[in-house]
């Protein structure tokens, strides 16, 4: 990769120009609108990341289920949800009814099985933040499990849009907040609409590995599918740009 000073970087305004300047000619690009996605990422004032199998290398609910001895059954529902085979709310309700996690069970799970960041995601988020781009975590997972991840990545807690598990006074499972947009199908576009409306962002990008992430365009200007943990064919087919390594995104962000 050739290096350029800040002045010369500003000269590359289109996706095609950035590709030519920052990527090896042999690099293979996948996606329906790669140049448009690169331009959107370059100009984005907000980037929203899915968490499970994107920011982290696992599906958080599967890790929790494994710790409670219900891993196989829950993983089957997770696969159905990520590939678009069932509505998200059906999968969420079914998985939680199988495990009914208490607050202490979740805390023990996180202590004994800390969630692992996907290689390169910390650099992507840091580069975005350094240039003044807002970063959000928009997930069908659980806030109680995502907050420690957000803390590691210096993402403000207020920038988490995820599901709330409810507990009774003794910390036992008592359901989930069905009013959260991320608890329902088409919840991620709704969450992004809320983020955009509250902050006035002009160019938003959604990054994720699942069918629910692809639904977030629009209001996202571009959907970048991520296949570095799980490469899902239905997602690859819908992605404006499909990447398998976060370093591809880093190159574009540094070109801005």
Which residues are the active-site residues?
50, 52
Helical (H) or strand (E) element with 75? helix 71-82
Say how far apart CA 188 and CA 221 lie, in whole Å: 14
Q: What phi and psi, each to the nearest 5 degrees, are found at residue 30?
A: -125, 140
Q: Which two tokens stand for residue 194?
A: 């809320």
CB 37 within 8 A of CB 47: no
Long-range contacts from 175-181, C-beta under 8 angstroms, 24+ separation = 175/96, 176/92, 176/93, 176/96, 178/89
């Amino acid at each position: 990769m050739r290096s350029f000073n800040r002045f010369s970087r500003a000269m590359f305004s289109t996706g095609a120009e950035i590709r030519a300047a920052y990527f090896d000619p042999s690099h293979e690009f996948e996606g329906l609108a790669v140049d448009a996605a690169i331009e959107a990422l370059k100009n984005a004032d907000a980037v929203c990341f899915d968490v499970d199998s994107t920011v982290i290398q696992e599906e958080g609910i599967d890790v929790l289920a494994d710790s409670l001895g219900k891993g196989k059954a829950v993983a089957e529902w997770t696969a159905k949800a990520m590939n678009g085979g069932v509505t998200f709310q059906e999968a969420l309700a079914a998985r939680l009814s199988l495990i009914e996690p208490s607050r202490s069970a979740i805390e023990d799970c996180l202590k004994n099985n800390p969630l692992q960041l996907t290689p390169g995601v910390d650099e992507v988020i840091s580069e975005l933040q350094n240039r003044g781009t807002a970063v959000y975590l928009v997930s069908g997972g659980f806030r109680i499990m995502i907050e420690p991840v957000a803390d590691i990545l210096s993402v403000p807690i207020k920038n988490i849009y995820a599901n709330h598990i409810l507990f009774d006074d003794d910390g036992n499972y008592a359901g989930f907040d069905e009013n959260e947009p991320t608890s329902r199908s088409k919840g991620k576009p709704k969450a992004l609409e809320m983020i955009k409306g509250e902050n006035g962002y002009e160019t938003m990008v959604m990054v994720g590995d699942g069918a629910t992430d692809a639904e977030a365009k629009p209001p996202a200007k571009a959907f970048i599918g991520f296949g570095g943990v799980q490469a899902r064919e239905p997602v690859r087919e819908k992605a404006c740009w499909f990447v398998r390594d976060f370093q591809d995104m880093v190159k574009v962000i540094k070109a801005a």
